[in-house]
């Protein structure tokens, strides 16, 4: 369980990106959505320890982790899949998947993890995680690394970004399976309707504030204007993609 207590994040030039965020993430699968610039990615970075909040406290399973480093949070059960995957010259996919799993992963284990995201292990494990891979391949591997960690809390920052819609339909099944088999909390930043559809709860962020945080049945009709129409946030995002 993750508790966000009065979290603010202010940039060096004084812009308030997160404005007194209060939320308790105790449901299995929670989706954070909201317009571009609403502070979603910043909130994920604050939870992972990459950005330090200007004020407020963060509790993980009742323990105050506000002052913990990125490393300590990772080792105590927080995983974070970046929106923009990082590239490494000289580190192979096997190297990084092994680091993520915390052990020297076997080919069979890598095969299981990579096939979940639609990649054949034998084509990838010895390749460097560098610019020779496409954006979609990098993103799938980023997601597979988060799965490999099997953490108490796994954060995904826009897993759909950089993946074509056809491939994303397949990835939906990955998240559905993760919901089914994982014991931990899953927190996904997403604009995708099908991701929102499988959420236990949806947190709607706007201008750095929590506008709504409730079950999807209560939140989705409101952000979509009416139940049968399409959310402008979603359509704008899908046009961008």
Determine the interface stretch with other proteins among 5-13, 84-92, 167-175, 191-199 (rule: CB under 8 A): 84-92
Of the pair 93, 163, the CB lying nearest other proteins is at: 93
Query: Could you say which of 8, 91, 111, 212 contacts other proteins (CB under 8 A)?
Result: 91
Measured distance CA(102)–CA(14) in Å, rounded: 39
Does residue 70 touch other proteins according to CB under 8 A? yes
Does residue 71 touch other proteins according to CB under 8 A? yes
Measured distance CA(133)–CA(158) in Å, rounded: 19
Tokens of 131: 């610019």
Does residue 75 touch other proteins according to CB under 8 A? yes
Query: Where in 127-166 is the site for other proteins (CB under 8 A)?
Result: 145, 149
Of the pair 140, 149, the CB lying nearest other proteins is at: 149
Measured distance CA(8)–CA(200) in Å, rounded: 25
Of the pair 133, 231, the CB lying nearest other proteins is at: 133
Query: Could you say which of 18, 21, 25, 48 contacts other proteins (CB under 8 A)?
Result: 48
Interface mask (CB under 8 A) for other proteins, residues 8-47, using x and -?
A: ----------------------------------------
Interface mask (CB under 8 A) for other proteins, residues 95-134, using x and -?
A: xx--xx-x--------------------------------
**In the bound complex, what is the minimum distance in angstroms from residue 75's beta carbon to other proteins?**
5
Query: Could you say which of 80, 124, 168, 213 contacts other proteins (CB under 8 A)?
Result: 80
Measured distance CA(117)–CA(170) in Å, rounded: 8
Whether 93 and 124 have beta carbons less than 8 Å apart is answered as yes
User: What Å distances lie between residue 210 and 90, 128, 180, 184, 214, CA to CA?
Assistant: 42, 40, 27, 23, 11
Query: Could you say which of 52, 64, 86, 123 contacts other proteins (CB under 8 A)?
Result: 86
Of the pair 132, 228, the CB lying nearest other proteins is at: 132
Query: Could you say which of 22, 36, 55, 69 contacts other proteins (CB under 8 A)?
Result: 69
Catalog residues that contact other proteins under the rule CB under 8 A: 48, 50, 69-71, 74-75, 78-80, 82, 86, 88-92, 95-96, 99-100, 102, 145, 149
């Amino acid at each position: 369980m993750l508790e966000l207590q009065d979290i603010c994040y202010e940039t060096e030039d004084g812009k308030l990106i997160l404005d007194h965020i209060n939320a308790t993430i105790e449901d299995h699968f929670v989706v954070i959505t909201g317009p571009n610039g609403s502070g979603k990615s910043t909130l994920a970075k604050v939870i992972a320890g990459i950005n330090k909040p200007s004020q407020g406290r963060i509790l993980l399973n009742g323990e105050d982790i506000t002052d913990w480093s990125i490393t300590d949070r990772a080792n105590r059960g927080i995983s974070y899949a970046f929106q923009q995957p990082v590239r490494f010259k000289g580190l192979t996919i096997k190297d990084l998947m092994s680091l993520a799993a915390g052990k020297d992963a076997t080919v069979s284990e890598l095969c299981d993890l990579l096939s979940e995201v639609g990649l054949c292990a034998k084509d990838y494990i010895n390749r460097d995680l560098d610019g020779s891979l496409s954006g979609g391949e990098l993103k799938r591997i980023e997601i597979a690394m988060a799965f490999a960690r099997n953490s108490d809390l796994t954060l995904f920052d826009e897993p759909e970004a950089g993946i074509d819609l056809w491939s994303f339909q397949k990835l939906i099944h990955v998240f559905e399976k993760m919901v089914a088999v994982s014991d931990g909390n899953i927190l996904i930043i997403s604009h995708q309707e099908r991701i929102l559809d499988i959420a236990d709860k949806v947190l709607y962020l706007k201008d750095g504030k929590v506008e709504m945080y409730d079950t999807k049945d209560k939140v989705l009709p409101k952000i979509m204007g009416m139940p049968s129409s399409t959310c402008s946030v979603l359509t704008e995002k899908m046009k961008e993609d």
